[in-house]
A and B are shown apart, each in its own frame.
Chain A
Amino acid sequence: MSPRPGYVLEVDRSTPPTLFWHGEGYRLERLPQGSRVVYAPEPIEPLADPVAAVRHALDHPLGDSQPLRSLLRPGMRLTIAFDDVSLPLPPMRRPDNRQLVIEQVLDLAAEAGVDDVVLIAALALHRRMTEAELRHALGDRIYDAFAPHGLLRQHDAEDPSELVHLGTTDQGEDVELSRRAAESDLLVYVNINLVAMDGGHKSVATGLASYRSLRHHHNAHTMRHSRSFMDQHRSELHSSNWRMGRLIAASGVRVFQIETTLNNDAFPEQFRFLQRREWEWSARDRAAFVASSAALARTPARLARSVLHGIAGPHRMTSVQAGEVEAVHAVTTGHVHAQQLVEVDGQSDVLTMGLPYISPYNVNSIMNPILVACLGLGYFFNLYRGRPLVREGGVLIMSHPTRKAFHPGHHPSYIDFYEEILAETTDPAEIHKWEEAFATDPWYVHLYRTGHAYHGVHPFYMWYWCAHALDHLGAVVVVGGEPSTVRRLGFRPASTLADALEIAADVVGPSPSVTHLHAPPLMIADVR
């Protein structure tokens, strides 16, 4: 039986309550009759033999690329860069796509007698991965072979000796890249394309770049003109990355791009109800819901967090393609759309969503208030193609506990951003004036380089991510959040969904039309 496509349900009297994610827990909410609930397509079948698929992709590259085998020769410098801990969500069960691919690449390199091989985690300004995270992504064999010899590195965007300036694009954008990657004879990039935003030229041009380079597209202006950034062809973020990617290619850096996609089978058997449609819940699903939500509600936040972050998703590889960047990415995007596109007819006045415990920037960490804003207004709001799910001037209602809690090791500059910048303004365009000070703060640089901290400028990027949504929306309401924290973010607190809908009615008028984005699992709403 082939998997069912995405589905838009209209709520009527017989519809059971709808599941809303709520941080480290979830709630059942009754949506008003006539509301629409957008469900993701069911997981598509994964590749039966991913190893063989990888080998086939390496031998049959797309675009004008040679097979990888023929690009390898003794004495060459080979660098393999790979996506960092922000992908996929939740982390996948071993073996990770990266391990599957890199093991094949290394086998070919060994066959070809390549002995100068370095692995680089393409962090950009993300936090350095821990040993456990690297082992999870690459497997113990690769880790033990490379890490003890210093050949498994993490990109350091603050080490001037490890960076090289390749030039500026025709729009005056600096392209500054990892020296090892840029000066290698071949740069292999291994990606996991979880959402349509990932991959393509963005892999190298962003993942291996420095602040000097990133600031050209990670800013409020670019994000306002990326509608959405999940839609490469209407995204200024991608236009900039593509210009940079072409400059990188033109300056002689040879990139062999390997992209993989996953199905959306994100949660293990005991949490299966999270990705099922409520009216189809079995007695077991119902029992699992009751048991797990009761248990999580009684567990201290810290413990609930560690339980949930321990979940490894059963999602599996659905495609792998290799070769020239743009040709590869076009195929990859098709695979992502095949799993995630849902047709939706028209916009609504109100968009509701439940935000889960995880976002790309709090894997094994705390979802702090800024990340809550970014997940809702940045990622979920932008999960559309064509038009946003909510009309201009409409209201976004998100459900999340929104606690004022930060991981001081991972998000040190977020704390100061929250206390100092958001206390002044929540306007993405206005915060720019503090960006430089955070980006160059020596304490943040120290924590980024020697610890596991996101770069000092990172919270600004999170806030820029919200720029398009903040421009578009009339109001943002957070259900069940800490009121003082929600207000600091510039949003309105509500204790129940009913209250939130009343607040929304004040903005958009009485009896508003409501759409609920039933994610995760992730999807892209193709709004006609």
Chain B
Amino acid sequence: MPQATPPSRPGPTKSRTRSTAGATTGPGIAGQLAGQRLFVTGATGFLGTALVERLLRCVPGCHVTVLVRPTRRLDAAARARREILGNDCFARLRHELGDRFDGEVAGRFAAVAGDVGRDGLGLDDAGRGALAAADIVVHSAATVAFDAAFDAAVEVNLLGPARVGAAIAAAADLRAELRPGAPPTHLVSVSTAYVAGTHQGHATETLATAAMASGARARTHTTVTTEVDIAAEVTAVRRLRDDLEAASRRPERLGGFTAAARRELGAAGVHLLAERAERLRDDWVRAELVEAGRARAQALGWPDAYAFTKALGERLLVGEHGDLPITVVRPSIIESALAEPQPGWIRGFRMAEPIIVSYARGLLREFPGLPEGVIDVIPVDLVVAAIVAVAADGPDPAGPSVVQVASGVRNPLRYGQLVDLVQRWFTDHPLYDGDGQPIVVPEWSFPGHGRVQRQLQRATDVLKLAERLLTSLPLRGERAELAGRVEERRMQAERARSYVELYGAYTETEALFRVDRLLALWERLSPEDQRAFCFDPGVVDWDAYVHDIHLPSVVQHARVRTTPGKSVMANRGDRARRAILAPDRHLAAFDLENTLVASNVVESYTWLATRHLPAGERAAFAARILAAAPGLAAVDRRDRGDFLRGFYRRYDGAPADVLRRDGLELFHNLLLAKSFPAGIARVRRHRALGHRTVLITGALDFVVEGLRPLFDEVVCAELGVDAEGRVDGRLVRLPPTGEARALVLAEYAEAEGLDLGEGVAYADSASDLPLLECVGFPVAVNPETKLAAIARRRGWHVEHWDRAATRPPLPMGPLDGAASRWWARIDHALRESR
């Protein structure tokens, strides 16, 4: 796709004075915009994409340049190709044009790199040329998330329009040079109807600045509040960000983040805990900013930071660049397309969709709202048509003007009616739960805001407590998943609560957005234009729109289960397993304890120690070890490496050759008996596929000797042996723990020329997180609660491998007829040293 360049010849200099009355007899919208150059920001967004498509499809003579922020991977042109032209919005145009699509687009569409968050829009010379050449600039870039961080909303929503205005003003000279005699660039700035707030009464199509200048009374919809010192707001927000960044780095806060990370991940190693703590810090700053934004907006009378920053954005634009030809378009809640490019087209999972889906899945049982209140929804194609018509119509010679695109006055959709429609539709077309059972949607009781919030808060608190409790229990495998399910419910409840907080204001809106100017524009259109660019809110049949267009589209986009049967989950497991066992994989790393065998180093030690104890002392020895187990487990939780080093000292003085012989016996009698046969089969399967297999364990070499034939590489601990052939209790090879496991695997992969991205790793606990994270295909085996939660969140494959039915009741070695007493001596010495 060619970068935009200034046209080499002067463009058409047709005068664009607006027609004054009645239906035009002129060339119509397409004719008026023929030969015009449009410059669109926010084209990768929902509204922007639809606008670009409509211009390319329905206004054959125009040229469209889009401003796109390059990402780290994609430059502006590539991103435009992928995110704008690649969207299914263009399916219709592609179909209509066939082979001509690429040629048509190449001739009429261009992308320039830039960012509305930066002064001068971050344009280069080519970009500035394209902007200067533009006859119409449509500024639709915005942070539309209602829970955006306050500072981001301020930078984009508040300062963005004025930046665009400034860039246009700065390009005026270049424009005069490039297009002598051309009229000044018309800026169509997209705002929101909610800049007027949500309180009862009529909100007219008037700019706040104009209203205040003409001496309107305070506390009307047009002003919301009186003066706001915009510069002071901007300064305050920027300082708030700095303050929060500083506050988040205070030792007590950092301690809190680290503790939270440890609660979540356990002993996952320094790096991962640090990474997680840093993310928690980031999240905290963001959450504080979101909260600050809402508080500030509500303090000044707006429902949220979005409406607030948009309102101030309008004011700043008009205040600083009132001399430019400006039209502000204020749509209400934009939803899926009524007809163009195809019924139901929608981009992204937006405001109402998650609420609707949560309701259909039975998660959101109540949502506050007034049944008789108007929920002001407008299909995206009506907004697009209105913008195109406004662009064709030209600026109001009287100065900056406003056009609202809303349905509330002309064709109101009542909240009660919407709820009824949604409920009926999902009763006829239920979603299905994980067991393939249809979900019955709840009856809606239109409760008040406060009650719902309190209910959800209580639910969240209870679930949080349950989650804490479950996470602290030593659960494994399928029982550990219970904690995962509770966590999921808690997150659902939290999400529901945030929906209520964020969107509650919109379902309780009592404001009526007037569309007089919009309808006047509609009246001026020729019947052909009215057909081609329909934006009359009166045409929407809400019943048909909700049932036949919007809900099917929402369900399709939400990727929820709409068919009964249990197959989906099973298929997912099978698919994951197939991916893991694909020939492209070439490396499989396994943890030992609780991944391949349900045993641990303490059991192995007890077994080996009792092997040669006289019969009478065996049980007592096993009992002593059992009694010490809680203390050992505590050390283990703190630091696995320390635990192993300390524990292995107990082998001090044991004859190495006996240990080696007994180790093999231990393997066959204890480890194999406590193994997960499916795990052993999996190792063998990888080998049969030609994959390298690596065992990474903290166990001692003579304990895992019997497993060696299964692995290409065994990484384990090894004890030193003295001149008399006795083990000295000091480790000559340290067992890899935590991130060392990932390093060991990375070193092995590098030495063997293998790609970790194609590797598989199997482990059972969060302390193996570094190992699991370093490969492309992590598998959680019978995960404990923390890992179960992580695997669930990240969509990792989980295997539940059953233990064989042969568990020995006590980890005691078989009675040795010729019991020697050396173990007893060692045990005695150990007891004395304590």
**C-alpha spacing A148/B669, complex, angstroms:** 20
Say yes or no: A131-B817 contact (C-beta < 8 A), given A407-B806, A442-B709, A451-B667: yes
Contacts of A302 in B (CB 8 A): 805-807
Please, which residue of chain A has its CB at the minimum distance from the CB of B670?
A409
Option from A403, A415, A443 in Cβ contact (under 8 Å) with B710: A443
Option from B668, B677, B817 in Cβ contact (under 8 Å) with A415: B677
Contacting pair B817 A140 (CB below 8 A): yes
Say yes or no: A443-B684 contact (C-beta < 8 A), given A301-B805, A408-B804: yes
Interface status of A366 (Cβ within 8 A of chain B): yes
Contacts of B817 in A (CB 8 A): 131, 135, 140, 143-144
Contacting pair B669 A409 (CB below 8 A): yes
**C-alpha spacing A503/B807, complex, angstroms:** 37
Say yes or no: A408-B806 contact (C-beta < 8 A), given A131-B817, A143-B817, A415-B677: yes
**C-alpha spacing A443/B807, complex, angstroms:** 22
Interface positions of B from 650 to 680, Cβ below 8 Å from A:
664, 667-669, 672-673, 675, 677, 680
Interface status of A369 (Cβ within 8 A of chain B): no
One digit per residue, 1 when the CB lies within 8 angstroms of any chain B CB and 0 when it does not, for chain A 435-453 equals: 0000000110011001111
Interface status of A416 (Cβ within 8 A of chain B): yes
Contacts of A407 in B (CB 8 A): 673, 804-806
Contacting pair A452 B814 (CB below 8 A): no
What is the distance, in angstroms, from B800's C-beta to the closest C-beta of chain A? 15
Interface status of A405 (Cβ within 8 A of chain B): yes
Option from A148, A406, A442, A453 in Cβ contact (under 8 Å) with B677: A406
What is the distance, in angstroms, from A159's C-beta to the closest C-beta of chain B? 16
One digit per residue, 1 when the CB lies within 8 angstroms of any chain A CB and 0 when it does not, for chain B 815-828 equals: 10110000000000
Contacting pair B668 A452 (CB below 8 A): yes
* Total inter-chain residue pairs, C-beta < 8 Å: 66
Contacting pair A409 B709 (CB below 8 A): no
Say yes or no: A131-B706 contact (C-beta < 8 A), given A406-B805, A407-B673, A407-B806: no
Contacting pair A451 B672 (CB below 8 A): yes
Interface status of A495 (Cβ within 8 A of chain B): no
What is the distance, in angstroms, from B599's C-beta to the closest C-beta of chain A? 12
Contacting pair B684 A451 (CB below 8 A): no
Interface status of A299 (Cβ within 8 A of chain B): no
Interface status of B681 (Cβ within 8 A of chain A): yes
Please, which residue of chain B has its CB at the minimum distance from the CB of A442?
B709
**C-alpha spacing A148/B806, complex, angstroms:** 29
What is the distance, in angstroms, from B339's C-beta to the closest C-beta of chain A? 54
Option from A132, A148, A409, A419 in Cβ contact (under 8 Å) with B672: A409
Interface positions of B from 613 to 650, Cβ below 8 Å from A:
none
Please, which residue of chain A has its CB at the minimum distance from the CB of B668?
A451
Contacts of A91 in B (CB 8 A): none
Contacts of A453 in B (CB 8 A): 668
Interface status of A394 (Cβ within 8 A of chain B): no
Say yes or no: A405-B805 contact (C-beta < 8 A), given A450-B706, A451-B706, A452-B668: yes
Interface status of A496 (Cβ within 8 A of chain B): no
What is the distance, in angstroms, from B567's C-beta to the closest C-beta of chain A? 18
Contacting pair A406 B664 (CB below 8 A): no
Say yes or no: A419-B681 contact (C-beta < 8 A), given A405-B805, A406-B804, A409-B806: yes
Contacts of B706 in A (CB 8 A): 446, 450-451
Contacting pair A132 B814 (CB below 8 A): yes
Say yes or no: A443-B709 contact (C-beta < 8 A), given A407-B804, A451-B672: yes
One digit per residue, 1 when the CB lies within 8 angstroms of any chain B CB and 0 when it does not, for chain A 130-151 equals: 1110010000100110001000
Contacting pair B673 A450 (CB below 8 A): no
What is the distance, in angstroms, from A456's C-beta to the closest C-beta of chain B? 12
One digit per residue, 1 when the CB lies within 8 angstroms of any chain B CB and 0 when it does not, for chain A 385-396 equals: 000000000000
**C-alpha spacing A491/B173, complex, angstroms:** 91
Interface status of A412 (Cβ within 8 A of chain B): yes
Interface residues on A, range: 20 to 34
**C-alpha spacing A143/B805, complex, angstroms:** 31
Contacts of B681 in A (CB 8 A): 415-416, 419
Contacts of A452 in B (CB 8 A): 668-669
Contacts of B667 in A (CB 8 A): 451
Contacting pair B668 A409 (CB below 8 A): yes
Say yes or no: A447-B668 contact (C-beta < 8 A), given A366-B806, A408-B680, A442-B709: yes
**C-alpha spacing A301/B806, complex, angstroms:** 10
**C-alpha spacing A403/B681, complex, angstroms:** 19
Contacts of B668 in A (CB 8 A): 409, 447, 450-453
Contacting pair A408 B684 (CB below 8 A): no
**C-alpha spacing A408/B710, complex, angstroms:** 15
Contacts of B807 in A (CB 8 A): 302
**C-alpha spacing A263/B450, complex, angstroms:** 85
**C-alpha spacing A144/B818, complex, angstroms:** 9
Contacts of B673 in A (CB 8 A): 407-409
Contacts of A132 in B (CB 8 A): 814-815
Please, which residue of chain A has its CB at the minimum distance from the CB of B673?
A409
Contacting pair A366 B669 (CB below 8 A): no
**C-alpha spacing A231/B788, complex, angstroms:** 58
**C-alpha spacing A453/B709, complex, angstroms:** 15
**C-alpha spacing A136/B824, complex, angstroms:** 27
Contacts of B669 in A (CB 8 A): 409, 452
Contacts of A409 in B (CB 8 A): 668-669, 672-673, 806
Contacts of A301 in B (CB 8 A): 805
Interface positions of A from 162 to 210, Cβ below 8 Å from B:
none
**C-alpha spacing A408/B667, complex, angstroms:** 12
Say yes or no: A412-B680 contact (C-beta < 8 A), given A130-B814, A131-B817: yes
**C-alpha spacing A426/B669, complex, angstroms:** 31
Say yes or no: A408-B677 contact (C-beta < 8 A), given A443-B710, A450-B664: yes
What is the distance, in angstroms, from B665's C-beta to the closest C-beta of chain A? 8
Interface positions of A from 53 to 76, Cβ below 8 Å from B:
none
**C-alpha spacing A132/B817, complex, angstroms:** 9
**C-alpha spacing A314/B58, complex, angstroms:** 99
**C-alpha spacing A443/B710, complex, angstroms:** 7
One digit per residue, 1 when the CB lies within 8 angstroms of any chain A CB and 0 when it does not, for chain B 790-831 equals: 000000000000001111000000110110000000000000
What is the distance, in angstroms, from B574's C-beta to the closest C-beta of chain A? 15
**C-alpha spacing A443/B675, complex, angstroms:** 15
Please, which residue of chain B has its CB at the minimum distance from the CB of A405?
B805
Contacts of A416 in B (CB 8 A): 681, 684
Contacts of B684 in A (CB 8 A): 416, 443
**C-alpha spacing A135/B710, complex, angstroms:** 32
Please, which residue of chain A has its CB at the minimum distance from the CB of B671?
A409
What is the distance, in angstroms, from A45's C-beta to the closest C-beta of chain B? 35
Contacts of A419 in B (CB 8 A): 681
Contacts of B672 in A (CB 8 A): 408-409, 412, 447, 451
Say yes or no: A446-B677 contact (C-beta < 8 A), given A409-B668, A451-B667, A452-B668: no
**C-alpha spacing A451/B677, complex, angstroms:** 16
Please, which residue of chain B has its CB at the minimum distance from the CB of A416?
B681
Interface centre among B669, B706, B804 (most CB of A within 10 A): B804
Contacts of B710 in A (CB 8 A): 443
**C-alpha spacing A460/B667, complex, angstroms:** 26
What is the distance, in angstroms, from A515's C-beta to the closest C-beta of chain B? 33
Please, which residue of chain B has its CB at the minimum distance from the CB of A301?
B805
Contacts of A144 in B (CB 8 A): 817-818
Contacts of B804 in A (CB 8 A): 405-408
Interface centre among B667, B675, B709 (most CB of A within 10 A): B709
Q: What are 27 residue pairs bridging A and B, where the CB atoms are less than 8 Å apart in the complex?
A: A130-B814, A132-B815, A144-B818, A366-B805, A403-B805, A405-B804, A406-B805, A407-B673, A407-B805, A408-B675, A408-B804, A408-B806, A409-B668, A409-B806, A416-B681, A416-B684, A419-B681, A443-B684, A443-B709, A443-B710, A446-B709, A447-B668, A450-B664, A451-B664, A452-B668, A452-B669, A453-B668
Enumerate chain B interface residues (CB-CB to A < 8 A).
Answer: 664, 667-669, 672-673, 675, 677, 680-681, 684, 706, 709-710, 804-807, 814-815, 817-818
- In the complex, besides A302-B807, A409-B673, 12 extra interface pairs with C-beta distance below 8 angstroms are A131-B817, A301-B805, A403-B805, A405-B804, A408-B672, A408-B675, A416-B681, A419-B681, A450-B664, A451-B664, A451-B672, A453-B668
